[in-house]
Structure 1
């Protein structure tokens, strides 16, 4: 099952791309709720490069690594990643109001489609707040 989330970021494309690909920025915005945080992030943004984000509950009760390998990179336009046997496609489209960021990913079987969509959308909304708050 393919799941898509998207958001409009009212900021220049260069700022959106930079925030998406900077490990220090990722540690700030990569959260779905205030009781979670990203404690470590790495980005090697090139075909064959890898990325990883360590996401943890702030109370220390649970954590996991979100990681993959880049299979396509078109600067300021497209990032495609492999998450094991699943794919994540992130598109950046500049328009008159700002940049639309659209993520399309293969869902996983553990959580419902609604749970996955809500979680990914919450993280994307956090990204928007981060980028727009820097302007």
Structure 2
């Protein structure tokens, strides 16, 4: 059996602004609207479909496995934008990155409080 994640819906107060934030930070493009969604397609074929949601939005976690070079570029954009970042998901190590499994990782929040993570090695891969 083959099972692949195709898309997921991301709640946002402003779907356009949130999709643009992710696309700009990751160096991607915002796709044309599809119904009520503003999609951001990832290179592996998965789409994050931003949807306007009124009221409180419970924060979710989205982790992006990237190459070392992409990490450098994304992390530079995070720092240039003045976005706070942490080495851990609990925000207890501000201004640091981690070196889990012999790679690098960092966490930062999007405009709706979703916890975004970039990492260069999958968890449990050793190193």
TM-score (norm 1): 0.31
Normalized per residue, the structure richer in strand is 1
TM-score, structure 2 length as denominator?
Answer: 0.32
Q: Give the number of the structure whose residues are more often helix, by fraction.
A: 1
